[in-house]
Amino acid sequence: MKVAVIRKGHFNAAHRLFRPDWSDEMNREVFGICSHPNYHGHNYEFDVRVTGEVNPETGIVIDLKKLKELIEVHVELPFDHKNLNVDCPEFADRIPTAENICIEIYRRLRGEIPPEMDLHIRLSETPRNFVEFPA
Ligand code: NI
């Protein structure tokens, strides 16, 4: 019997969506206000969904305290109150869009979750805009 267990995470971070090889006008056209040269912040909310068999002995899929700690150590502490473009090497040559941040959260947690369990991330940049990986 498989059950999905979800833990919510949160961080505040700044970013700018731009390509240095494009003009400010071109960046503005493609990325809109998220391309503002002096950066801006978002209150990022995310759901980490782990799906697996319920252990018949314990009645649980994954220890939520353990999952909370993994999220803190691997996602919240590294990203919270950071400028994603400047402070996080993962985004030195990858634009910190919601899509790329969501993939990065997945990458950071995938190795920490038992391989027989499925992992899925939903990242919200605003209450109305969110992305999911895997799609
Ligand atoms: Ni933005």
What pLDDT was estimated at residue 40?
A: 96
Catalytic residue among 34, 42, 88, 102: 34
What pLDDT was estimated at residue 52?
A: 98
H helices, E strands: number in the chain: 5, 5
> Could you tell me the distance, in angstroms and rounded to a whole number, from the CA of residue 60 to the centre of ligand 1?
37
Catalytic residue among 25, 42, 81, 90: 81
Model pLDDT for residues 6-25, shown as the tens digit of each residue: 999 999 999 999 999 999 89
CB-CB neighbours of 110 under 10 Å: 11
Domain presence at residue 111: yes
Model pLDDT for residues 68-120, shown as the tens digit of each residue: 999 999 999 999 999 999 999 999 999 999 999 999 999 999 999 999 999 99
> Could you tell me the distance, in angstroms and rounded to a whole number, from the CA of residue 1 to the centre of ligand 1?
40
- The one-letter amino acid code at 23 reads S
CA distance 99 to 107: 12
Domain presence at residue 20: no
> Could you tell me the distance, in angstroms and rounded to a whole number, from the CA of residue 16 to the centre of ligand 1?
6
The domain of 77 spans 2-12+44-133
Domain presence at residue 32: no
Domain presence at residue 94: yes
What pLDDT was estimated at residue 73?
A: 98
Domain presence at residue 101: yes
125 catalytic per annotation:
yes
C-beta of residue 43 within 8 angstroms of C-beta of residue 12: yes
CA distance 36 to 28: 8
CB-CB neighbours of 77 under 10 Å: 12
pTM given for the model? 0.96
> Could you tell me the distance, in angstroms and rounded to a whole number, from the CA of residue 75 to the centre of ligand 1?
18
Q: What CATH number does residue 104 fall under?
A: 3.30.479.10
Domain presence at residue 95: yes
Domain presence at residue 24: no
Q: Domains in the chain: how many in total?
A: 1
34 catalytic per annotation:
yes
Residues with Cβ within 8 Å of 99's Cβ and at least 6 positions away in sequence, in order, are 131, 133
Domain presence at residue 6: yes
What pLDDT was estimated at residue 86?
A: 96
